[in-house]
Amino acid sequence: MKKYFNKASTGFVIAFSFLLALSSCETTNLDINDNPNTLTPVSADASLVLNSIQLSFVGQHLGLSFQSGDIMRHVHMFGTYASNSGQGSMNGAWANTYSIANNLNLIQDLAETNDLANHVGMGQVLEAFAFVNLVDNIGTAVYSEAVSSEFPQPNLDSGASIYEAMYAQLNEAITNLSATGQIQPEDLIYNGDMSKWIKLANTLKIKMYVQTKLVGNASAVSDINSILASGNYIKDLADDFQIQFGTNETNPDNRHPWFAANYQINAGNQYMSNDFMNTLLNDKASPDPRLPYYIYRQTNTDPSGTLLPCAGDGDFQYCYVGDGYWGRDHADDEGIPNDGELRATYGIYPAGGAYDDASFSFTRDSQNLGGAGIHPVILSSFSKFMLAEAALPAPVGLGVTGNPRTYLMQAMMDSFNKVANFSGIPMVSTDVTAYIDQVLLRYDVATSDEERLEIIMLEYYIAMWGNSLEAYNNYRRTGYPELGFSVISNTDFPRSYFLPDSELNSNDNPNLEQKSLTDQVFWDTNPAGFID
């Protein structure tokens, strides 16, 4: 498949505060075929263009992860799925993707007369990731006719064809990343370490192969086994693909968005999910050792009266899970009491907030990291959870090299180490050992590979806290983890999102028609009503 490129694009670093605005659910309409800038390859700086690509990817992934967090019960969702999945939900993700595509075109132009193969390779990895994310969330995208003046009314490509193009692009990216004697890129993520970018490219391929297991790929097992044999994938914490936030409050505000929204004047601005907190509290014999890192409590007083309007209502699964973990059931859209300084909220990991040492102070008065959190995109634990699924026998898995139980054990250990190392607060080793032993015992007594897959997916769901996008993908593919029920019933779970209204309003192509939230992406072959 040939891509057609125009020759001009942005060449400046997007201010981080503006970037976060782009990542929100509703954005200004952007015509991906128009380029408002006048920079040419002669005047552009390759490092600034590359930085713009990186920041656009951050904006895309953050927005998609936050969009998924509500529906996947990582955080509380007000109202119905439909009300949280409007026709502007994907505007930001769409705009950021085509910003990446435009800027990659410019770097490729610059590379014709400069030694910029590494720059190109980095851009190719991020563009591939961005297009995969569009397919996974919408089912389609403009690709073969994108960002080209030759196609003023570009058509949509199938999700399967875009995936195939991205496999090829990632292989080309690895070649470019392996080139020596190139100009050193200014790299906001891996500080110019091309070996880490190669590991990311390979890990993205593993993710794509696992994601498409239901529709099959003849190359999946051999390609994954080849990557495993090479060792060039994200398997150590030092290789984690994450976005680092800072502590600056203004010009720009580069703190983790969760911190900025919940540790200021309005303490506890968002409700935590009772379903997720119940899993952390009660799924095992003892609370999850990561609980005080994930969730911060502002009070140990139990809510009652007008502060707990759900009390006694049989439509609620939890209402209140206890021990100061003050949240809301999924889809509860009752009126909001004056409880902002009482709610449980985000903790030290990954939001850069406070560790819950049972001091029960308001977030704004807590000892915290000032928002210097991370956004986990692909961590070593994620890779090993993917491989645990992939190593299960087909058809539940793919039957790749390795023991799924071993991958599961390593993934959990990496998750615990990641959280403790990030916070600088050690976990009690006996608690960690007891947790892992309990999960492995469940795995050992499971009577089918389907049960083993359910165990893997639950632990992955817990470990990915901060990145709900992968939870959304996993849930549609496997049906796991089993989520709590919704206060508002009879509302369809979004198997994909609408085409962005920004594209429908700017692209006059008569072939473009809005889709339904119940439309399934190409790799989701599960029956209708499979999940809710």
Q: What is the DSSP string of 212-240?
A: TTTT--TTHHHHHHHHHHHT-SS-SGGG-
Residue 89 CB coordination number (10 Å): 24
Mean pLDDT of 269-282: 96
**Which residues lie closer than 8 Å to 448 by C-beta, 6 or more apart?**
none
Q: How do beta strands 157-158 and 140-141 pair? A: antiparallel
CB atoms within 10 A of CB 388: 30
Residues 139 and 516 sit within 8 Å (Cβ to Cβ): no
For residue 35, name the pLDDT band (cuts at 50, 70, 90): very low
Half-sphere exposure of 450 (CA within 13 A, CB side): 5
The Cα-based distances of 284 to 280, 412, 440, 441, 458 in angstroms read 8, 14, 12, 12, 12
Q: What is the pLDDT of residue 40?
A: 55
pLDDT value of position 299: 94
Tell me the average pLDDT across 78-90: 94
β-pairing verdict for 295-296 and 345-346: antiparallel
Give me the numbers of helices (H) and strands (E) for the chain, helices first please: 16, 6
What per-residue confidence (pLDDT) applies to 1? 30
CA nearest to 202, candidates 223, 221, 181, 179: 223
Range with the poorest average pLDDT among 23-27, 168-172, 179-183, 520-524? 23-27
Determine the pLDDT at residue 41.
Answer: 59
Sort residue 419 into left (φ over 0), alpha (ψ -120 to 50) or beta.
alpha
Give the mean model confidence (pLDDT) for residues 320-328.
Answer: 96
More confident site: 462 or 485: 462
Asked whether the predicted pLDDT for residue 3 surpasses 50, the reply is no
**What's the mean pLDDT in 288-313?**
95
Counting residues of the chain whose pLDDT is more than 70, the rounded percentage is 92
Using CB atoms within 10 Å of the CB of residue 29, give its burial: 0 to 12 exposed, 13 to 18 middle, 19+ buried. Answer: middle
Could you report the per-residue pLDDT of 134-181, keeping only the tens digit for each?
Answer: 999 999 999 999 998 899 999 999 999 999 999 999 999 999 999 999
Q: Which of 24, 18, 166 is nearest to 90 (CA)?
A: 24
The pLDDT value given to residue 268:
77
Q: How far apart are CA 231 and CA 374, in angstroms?
A: 25
For CATH 1.20.120.840, list the domain ranges present in the chain. 375-478
Q: In whole numbers, what is the pLDDT of the chain averaged over residues? A: 91
Per-residue pLDDT of 423-432, as tens digits, reads: 999 999 999 9
User: Cα separation of 29 and 95, whole Å?
Assistant: 8
Question: Does the pLDDT at position 433 exceed 90?
Answer: yes
Higher pLDDT, 495 or 2: 495
- What's the distance, CA 1 to chain centroid? 28
Residues 441-460 have pLDDT tens digits of 999 999 999 999 999 999 99
Q: Label residue 489 by pLDDT band (50, 70, 90).
A: confident
Does the pLDDT at position 326 exceed 50?
A: yes
Gap between the terminal Cα atoms of the chain: 37
- Could you tell me which CATH number the domain at 16-192+492-506 has? 1.25.40.390
pTM, rounded to two decimals: 0.92
Q: Where in the chain is the domain with CATH 1.25.40.390?
A: 16-192+492-506
Residue 413: closest CA among 437, 377, 442: 437
- Please work out, in degrees rounded to the nearest 5, the angle formed at the alpha carbon of residue 273 by the alpha carbons of 271 and 278: 135
For the domain bounded by 375-478, which CATH number is listed?
Answer: 1.20.120.840
pLDDT average, residue stretch 493-500:
97
In 3D space, the residue among 524, 525, 233, 522 whose CA is nearest the CA of residue 401 turns out to be 233
pLDDT of residue 172: 98
Locate tokens 């400046």: which residue?
12
Q: What pLDDT shows up at residue 265?
A: 67
**pLDDT of residue 286 exceeding 70:** yes
Query: What mean pLDDT is predicted for residues 264-274?
Result: 85
User: Is pLDDT above 60 for 204?
Assistant: yes
Do the Cβ atoms of 429 and 441 come closer than 8 Å? no
